[in-house]
Structure 1
């Protein structure tokens, strides 16, 4: 029979194993990853010139910027549910959901945690559940193969230590029937800090997975291996270009038959000799003195390589050319810009569909916690997302007005007025009926 401490030890081991690769994901996102190979033509001393290429962050942020939730709509309702939106706002999920989406895109997973309001918290509203988001660096959930839901989960808070690797000093175990907090101590290494017997029948943790597959339950990073490879190649190319610019960007002069004292008044002072050497005009009295010059190094081959690598990055990510700065000098028309964003918009729509399910499940668990049951109309709840495309407001308004005023043969409008207001970008608060 599994004991509470068995859950602790097993989940801690799983949590530790799941940390593999997370630090590398962050390094690529923050443009701090240093490629292992820096090129055979560049001396090791110039490693500091290795540029930080931010294509990974541009891609992740470009997708996340188009993932904005504007409400939740129950089955059979024509307007957004005010109560769920109140919970959303009270938990600051406007901004926290953005953090969760970013973590899921970077690492392949994030987590939504739902709990009852804390009666001892003076700032807590007793009618509003607590909905938080967690990074995979602080949480791990074991997913059930049969239900595809969390089977059990652990949240880890690591202590601050000036030496060695931080170790967990506080953990929370989430099970279908209870939530228990542990602190370090006691004969078995952990002692119970609090215990809540909620008997929900489900774990109040919802994984927010990115790029999950039928054979990959825990998601994958949006920073794919091919995007990492072109980012590394871009960093090395930029480093080689800087090294070439440092050494050979200026024309090199070669002087024959000229003594050092003829170049500067103090030939023992190397700085004066150098300053005289790089002067625009060099005049010598010695008729035998000659000067020749090598042409400066051509850097266009590096910029051509960078442009090709940027195109490869665009191929892998679907980013428009102007996002990676290899578009033509002539500004594109509005139609051309929208056409170039078609893949990015479609990708954002797919992410909305993938991330919408976990948010709906989190709200159902919140209803279960607060009401003791999930209403029937919540089984078919729908997340209302903002349009991920970027049409002009005039074009959007024109299209919405035409749809809202056009009618079917039986006299009904093609789209309800509420839907028209959502398409125009009105928030749930702005759409609320006024008395």
Structure 2
């Protein structure tokens, strides 16, 4: 039996690891929020130009473009044709329709997020499933089994001071409070689950790096460069975009009003009539600066961001003389769709493990068929609804898809599918179609022709 000293050493180890990732996580938060300052990028600005600084928030675009396509719609156990009602009720009771999106967003920004699973209140038949941020939680993963060996959730005050902590271990959960003398255990819950009730959601994990990587990492350098260019453009626009004028042979008396007060510079510049006392005076203007070079540089950066992040060019405001067709738009989104599918697969594994932990907590064991539990995600592609409905209808008519699966393919939620099933059960035509469909051939062979009697 491990001692309290052993638990405390695990806490200190995880706390040090969490502290080592704090600066990186905070930096990613700053870029996602568009709050980075150009002084931090190495661009020195005079005080008069600081109000002109511009932040191009491409990192948020990269993250949101993926997060908007990640919608989990249910879970299916092995051998079941429909989504599991019990697991979906757990999902709904924990408000994971909203909270799961926050977890996905956190994983895309920081490279990882976490899911904690615990027992519900007395009498509740659903576990408590809570997404956690990488800013306050860390796990230790076994490199051989990839199972979580321990996890730490740190609670801090508004000023950043540590207040309390929760240490998750395979057979117990230990609660600590911070005091002047150090960490003091205040409660221990022996759950005896045999596994840590914490699941990491990891983005872009590698074999040698299970902590994940931010989705924004590849575009941060280009974002900094674009911010510099945009700020330089603002300065050039302020100083050089309007052609400068000059006057030769004028006197100070030419720039005063009837009261003898000096005319403001802007009034003298934009006034419709400029009269000078010296008939030999000359007025002219310099050519305005051409700012297209700034635009071309920014467009070059945008194309690089598009290539690195798999974003269609029109997401970044890039356009051509000829408007793209619908097929061209779908083709441009191919990489983005594939990236969303990969993220759904990785994140889905985490949610499946969280549901297995819920079964272990509520039922005391995990059924064998739960090993093949699968998560169901909404199609991340963007075909038109009419085109998809037409394709699905043809598959149903050919006997390839049953009607219930067609509803799922068309993106109806579990509750909508239940209503449709109830409505179809009361519809005589639907019952007739089901009866006729039951005798349809399901293979590719054609039914035999009826025998003919030529006599």
Tell me which of 38, 52, 55 is aligned to 2:58: 55
Alpha-carbon distance in 1 for matches of 2:407, 2:170:
40
Describe how 1:268-279 pairs up with structure 2 within 5 A: 269-279=261-271
Alpha-carbon distance in 1 for matches of 2:265, 2:347:
66
Alpha-carbon distance in 1 for matches of 2:132, 2:190:
22
The secondary structure found in structure 1 opposite 2:131 is strand
Q: Which has the higher mean CA deviation after the structures are superposed, 265-274 or 147-156?
A: 265-274
Alpha-carbon distance in 2 for matches of 1:168, 1:345:
41
Kept in 2, the 8 Å contact 1:261–1:267? The answer is no
Tell me which of 237, 249, 254 is aligned to 1:245: 237
Tell me which of 272, 283, 286 is aligned to 1:291: 283
Is residue 2:403 matched to residue 1:425? no
Describe the shift of the 1:139–1:72 C-alpha distance in structure 2 as closer, same or farther (beyond 3 A): same
Q: What is the CA distance between 1:194 and its match in structure 2?
A: 2.8
Kept in 2, the 8 Å contact 1:38–1:47? The answer is no
Alpha-carbon distance in 2 for matches of 1:5, 1:170:
13
Tell me which of 194, 197, 211 is aligned to 1:201: 194
Alpha-carbon distance in 2 for matches of 1:243, 1:268:
34
Please list every run of 5 or more consecutive structure 2 residues that lacks an aligned counterpart in the other structure: 426-455
Give 1:416's aligned residue: 402
Q: What is the CA distance between 1:28 and its match in structure 2?
A: 1.0
Q: What is the CA distance between 1:369 and its match in structure 2?
A: 0.5
Q: What is the CA distance between 1:252 and its match in structure 2?
A: 0.7
Q: How far does the alpha carbon of each residue in 1:123-177 deviate from its partner, in whole angstroms, 9 at most, with x for none? A: xx6101000000010111111111112110010110234xxxx221111010000
Alpha-carbon distance in 2 for matches of 1:219, 1:90:
29
Tell me which of 357, 366, 379 is aligned to 2:371: 379
Describe the shift of the 1:173–1:37 C-alpha distance in structure 2 as closer, same or farther (beyond 3 A): closer
Alpha-carbon distance in 2 for matches of 1:216, 1:15:
15
Alpha-carbon distance in 2 for matches of 1:60, 1:220:
12
Alpha-carbon distance in 2 for matches of 1:237, 1:66:
31
Alpha-carbon distance in 2 for matches of 1:273, 1:183:
66
Q: Which has the higher mean CA deviation after the structures are superposed, 281-290 or 196-205?
A: 281-290
Give 1:184's aligned residue: 178
Describe the shift of the 1:268–1:243 C-alpha distance in structure 2 as closer, same or farther (beyond 3 A): farther
Q: What is the CA distance between 1:7 and its match in structure 2?
A: 2.4
The secondary structure found in structure 1 opposite 2:372 is coil
Is residue 2:96 matched to residue 1:93? yes
Give 2:145's aligned residue: 147
Describe the shift of the 1:375–1:273 C-alpha distance in structure 2 as closer, same or farther (beyond 3 A): closer
Describe how 1:13-28 pairs up with structure 2 within 5 A: 13-28=16-31
Describe the shift of the 1:294–1:114 C-alpha distance in structure 2 as closer, same or farther (beyond 3 A): same
Kept in 2, the 8 Å contact 1:56–1:227? The answer is yes
Describe the shift of the 1:44–1:269 C-alpha distance in structure 2 as closer, same or farther (beyond 3 A): same
Q: What is the CA distance between 1:57 and its match in structure 2?
A: 0.3
Q: How far does the alpha carbon of each residue in 1:342-381 deviate from its partner, in whole angstroms, 9 at most, with x for none? A: 1111110111111111111110010011001111121100
Alpha-carbon distance in 1 for matches of 2:166, 2:402:
46
Give the root-mean-square deviation of aligned CA atoms.
Answer: 1.9
The secondary structure found in structure 1 opposite 2:359 is helix
Is residue 2:205 matched to residue 1:212? yes
Describe the shift of the 1:203–1:268 C-alpha distance in structure 2 as closer, same or farther (beyond 3 A): farther
Q: Which has the higher mean CA deviation after the structures are superposed, 299-308 or 10-19?
A: 10-19
Give 2:112's aligned residue: 109
Is residue 2:37 matched to residue 1:34? yes
Kept in 2, the 8 Å contact 1:345–1:388? The answer is yes
The secondary structure found in structure 1 opposite 2:23 is coil
Kept in 2, the 8 Å contact 1:64–1:102? The answer is yes
Q: How far does the alpha carbon of each residue in 1:302-358 deviate from its partner, in whole angstroms, 9 at most, with x for none? A: 111111111111011111111100112543221111111111111101111111111
Aligned residue pairs, count? 417
Q: Which structure has the bigger radius of gyration?
A: 2
Q: What is the CA distance between 1:284 and its match in structure 2?
A: 2.1
Tell me which of 324, 330, 340 is aligned to 1:332: 324
Alpha-carbon distance in 2 for matches of 1:54, 1:325:
13
Q: How far does the alpha carbon of each residue in 1:61-107 deviate from its partner, in whole angstroms, 9 at most, with x for none? A: 01000000000000000000000000000000011010000110011
Q: What is the CA distance between 1:10 and its match in structure 2?
A: 2.2
Please list every run of 5 or more consecutive structure 1 residues that lacks an aligned counterpart in the other structure: 120-124, 407-412
Is residue 2:215 matched to residue 1:222? yes
- TM-score (structure 2 length as normaliser): 0.87
Higher-helix-fraction structure:
2
Describe the shift of the 1:416–1:274 C-alpha distance in structure 2 as closer, same or farther (beyond 3 A): closer
Kept in 2, the 8 Å contact 1:38–1:236? The answer is no
Q: What is the CA distance between 1:181 and its match in structure 2?
A: 1.3
Give 2:384's aligned residue: 392
With a CA cutoff of 8 Å and minimum separation of 6, indicate the structure with the bigger relative contact order. 1
Alpha-carbon distance in 1 for matches of 2:51, 2:321:
32
The secondary structure found in structure 2 opposite 1:96 is helix
Q: What is the CA distance between 1:270 and its match in structure 2?
A: 4.6
Describe the shift of the 1:276–1:140 C-alpha distance in structure 2 as closer, same or farther (beyond 3 A): same
Q: How far does the alpha carbon of each residue in 1:169-206 deviate from its partner, in whole angstroms, 9 at most, with x for none? A: 111010000112112238x5233333211111110000
